[in-house]
Amino acid sequence: MSGLSAVDVIRAKRDGGRLTDEQIDWVVDAYTRDVVADEQMSALAMAIFLNGMTAAETARWTRAMVESGERLSWPTGRPTVDKHSTGGVGDKITLPLAPLVAACGAAVPQLSGRGLGHTGGTLDKLESIPGWRARLSTEEIGAQLTSVGAVVCAPTEGLAPADRKLYALRDVTATVECVPLIASSIMSKKIAEGAGGLVLDVKVGSGAFMPDLAAARELASALVEIGVDHGLRISALLTDMSTPLGRAVGNAVEVAEAVEVLRGGGPADVVELTLALAREMLALAGIDADPAEVLASGRAYDTWRAMITAQGGDPDAELPSPAHVETVTADRDGVVAALDARAVGVAAWRLGAGRARKEDPVQAAAGVVCRAKPGERVRAGEPVLELRTDTPDAVPAALDVLADAIVVADEAPPTTPLVIETIRP
């Protein structure tokens, strides 16, 4: 691909042009090899942010990022299927979902990430379990998929290195919220991961990266289109993220709530979304099983225990508890009419459950527990939120962001569906 230069590629997109396949392949490969500098890729990312990319450009960009590293495969004898969430508040769904779908007969290679900002990370949650480790070799992942059926772990080092490098750059150049770049980032990792089917949980609402339904639908459609282009069986659910999922927001508290679900209890919304995604995953995998029956039987809980044990964790260990707990109470009698997901997520982050930078540590015990949720009646002075932290000095900042998060009214709010719509090829 001689004769190409970063300046020419930047100029083409800056002026609103369509990048050729050759330009895309070259610039992604050259950036991965440090031939294209960070400042040049920053300029190109901003040009893409401002001028967009066609579906064909996005698909090619995704393909180039996949080919920057290894592409995994899992000859387990089971159909492989995965789920990806665009991130939300209290979104612990992967924790009960992976073992449930595995207990139904699929292999679930769930390569997950860490939290950043107000949305939690699956690996941070699981690391609150004593002994559990996120980093596995490709051989260990394959062995666990064969023996247990489910793995939740960090991506291997060789998986889509172009995306890992570009994601860090986008995070510090205000180019994260760009549909082509989001779509190619998500799908490059998922395609390289090697699952045959993929269900996307695209969040919509105040606690999501896509608060607007039209924008979320655009992202979901772009993701599905890329998946089809790469031969994946794929579908996307648009789900509500205006209120936190379940009652627990944080790390250890979300693990505890996920275990409740696996043992036959837990909040109704967490159970509903877990089952909805499980049914969609099983349909893509071609497995005729009733996930509700499998969940009730206890087989999914057994798979959870095996999954945690296989990664060095103790499923019976006591989870970390916070040094300080403070409650936020209702200011009047009535019904909780709103509980803003983003505010609760930011509060949990400020209490220590999340991070502002990728290298920041998180507190396993920090978070927020929702003692009352929309539609539930409260009396003045009763707890609505429970703030948990090991650093009491963090409480005032969390209270600041929660100042307008809770609305108590005379009547219950209208009910809205948790699953808004499903997008299939």
118 in catalytic set: no
- Residue 279: active-site member: no
CA dist 356 → 46, 116, 186 (Å): 22, 6, 21
* SS3 labels along 234-279: EEEEEEECCCCCCCEEECHHHHHHHHHHHCCCCCHHHHHHHHHHHH
Distance, CA of 370 to CA of 245 (rounded, Å): 10
The CA distance from 265 to 51, in Å, is 48
Please provide residue 116's backbone torsions phi and psi, each rounded to the nearest 5 degrees.
-145, 125
Which of the following is catalytic: 185, 188, 206, 235?
A: 185
Task: Calculate the alpha carbon distances from 365 to 254, 349, 387 in Å.
Answer: 10, 12, 10
Query: Of 60, 63, 83, 84, which is the active-site residue?
Result: 84
Q: Which residues of 132-158 are buried (b: 16+ CB within 10 A; e: fewer)?
A: bebebebebbbebbeebbbbbbbbbee
Q: Is 324 a catalytic residue?
A: no
Say whether 392 sits in a helix, a strand or coil.
helix
Long-range contacts of 268-274 (CB under 8 A, 24+ apart): 269/245, 269/418, 270/92, 270/93, 270/96, 270/245, 270/246, 271/295, 272/418, 272/419, 273/93, 273/201, 273/239, 273/245, 273/418, 273/419, 274/93, 274/96, 274/97, 274/100
Note whether 275 and 295 are within 8 A (CB).
yes
Query: φ and ψ at 207, to 5 degrees?
Result: -90, 0
Let me know: does 365 contact 251? Beta carbons within 8 Å: yes
How far is the C-alpha of 16 from the C-alpha of 102, rounded, in Å? 46
Identity of the amino acid at 130:
P
The verdict on whether 185 is a catalytic residue reads yes
Residues 6+ apart with CB under 8 A from 321: 252, 365
Q: Which among 63, 125, 164, 189 is annotated as catalytic? A: 189
Give the active site residue among 60, 125, 165, 170. 170
Q: Which of 25, 163, 201, 240 is catalytic?
A: 163
Q: Which residues contact 122 (CB under 8 A, 6 or more apart)?
A: 92, 94, 95, 110, 112, 113, 152
Query: 356: helix, coil or strand?
Result: coil
> 216, 207, 200: which is closest to 277 by C-alpha?
200
Collapsing DSSP to helix, strand or coil, 98 comes out as helix
Would residue 189 show up in a list of annotated catalytic residues for this protein? yes
The residues annotated with a catalytic role in the active site are 84, 163, 170, 185, 189
